[in-house]
Amino acid sequence: MTATIVLAGGCFWCTEAAFEQLEGVQGVQSGYAGGAKETANYEQVCTGRTGHAEAIRITYDSARLSLDRLLDVFFDAHDPTTLNRQGADTGTQYRSAIFYATDAERELAQQHIEKLNTAKKFPRPIVTSLEPLRDFYPAEDYHQGYARLNPHQSYVQSVSLPKACKVREKYPDLMKKA
């Protein structure tokens, strides 16, 4: 069964690269969530004043890959304990967020966060926000598949690819077969 989830974990180039390699993921689209249609463009989102987060919409086969397992990868693919920041990228547009479409998604995400906090998986409490998904606006075409299409770009080399590799190493059983 095809399902979708919208996640924000810093730069969408990084999160897209981490998730598009997973078996059961049918597609990953970079975009903007949390703000208005009028400000859903890279130039305005970069100001940090639009309410948007750089986010990805993941389309996946829920019979092959559960939302709970996707959340495992999500929390390992970025630092969910830093508020409005991922590495050198700062601002609300880089916040850690799960944009839920249903109460069931919100409840599962909340339980996942509580489980990780109780287990002290991270040195600090998780600050990932749970936000209702109002709309998702696809990013400009040049952002789509950016890390895959620009593997030698310096940001991709230093930030995006290491995150994708971390996921690959931690979840070898979830990788697409070549």
β-pair type (96-100, 129-132): parallel
Place of tokens 């077969």: 177
Contact 129, 97 (CB under 8 A): yes
Counts of helices then strands in the chain (DSSP H, E): 7, 8
Q: Taking CA 46 as the corner, what is the angle to CA 42 and CA 52, rounded to the nearest 5 degrees?
A: 80
Given the residues 11, 14, 46, 165, the one annotated as active site: 11
- Closest-CA residue to 34 (of 119, 130, 113, 114): 130
Q: Is 46 a catalytic residue?
A: no
CA distance 41 to 24: 29
Residues that are catalytic: 11
